[in-house]
Amino acid sequence: MPLDAIPILAVPQGLHSDERSGNAPALLREIAEMLRRFLANGETSAIDLHALPLTPADLEWLREQLGGGEIAITLNAEGESSLNETACPGVWWVTHRNPNGAVDSEFIEVADVPDLVKAHHEDVVIGLDHLELLISDLSKQRAF
């Protein structure tokens, strides 16, 4: 089911942030579908939680249903991101914060590990260059 087909209603006007809209349970069904696709062919996917008509109470309910997992990841790059595994392995709750600590965006990601955490080939190449330079410098200093 494509994301734009998730049957979610607009938040009723006048709903308070501590009220549930009724939209969150459909997300659990969508996450289950995302997991089935991931198991079938390795397809990773994500839901932008702030793009959906969800109240803070909906997000809290969803987080409670998914539960907490064993793995917590922190990424510090122009603001801190947390990428926490839920009690459902392969389902990650990702929160990006701006440099002031305010939440910028939240995603549900379905993957073996969120792509942001993986070292990418071009960065490894640059890191190896630096390491080789360091080794060369240390050799000149007779540290070896």
CA distances to 78, 116, 141 from 138, rounded to whole Å, are 32, 32, 5
What is the distance between the terminal CA atoms of the chain, rounded to a whole angstrom? 59
User: Strand 91-97 to strand 80-86: parallel, antiparallel, or no bridges (unpaired)?
Assistant: antiparallel
- Binding of residue 1 to a copy of itself (CB under 8 A): no
The binding track of 17-56 with respect to a copy of itself, each residue x by CB under 8 A or -, is: --------xx-xx-xx--xx-xx-----------------
Q: Smallest gap, in angstroms, from Cβ of residue 4 to a copy of itself?
A: 20
* Residue 143, helix vs strand vs coil: coil
Alpha-carbon gap, residue 140 to 144, rounded angstroms: 8
- Binding of residue 7 to a copy of itself (CB under 8 A): no
Q: Smallest gap, in angstroms, from Cβ of residue 81 to a copy of itself?
A: 9
Chain contacts with a copy of itself (rule: CB under 8 A): 25-26, 28-29, 31-32, 35-36, 38-39, 65, 70-77, 85, 87-91, 111-113, 117-121, 123-128, 130-132, 134-135, 138, 143-144
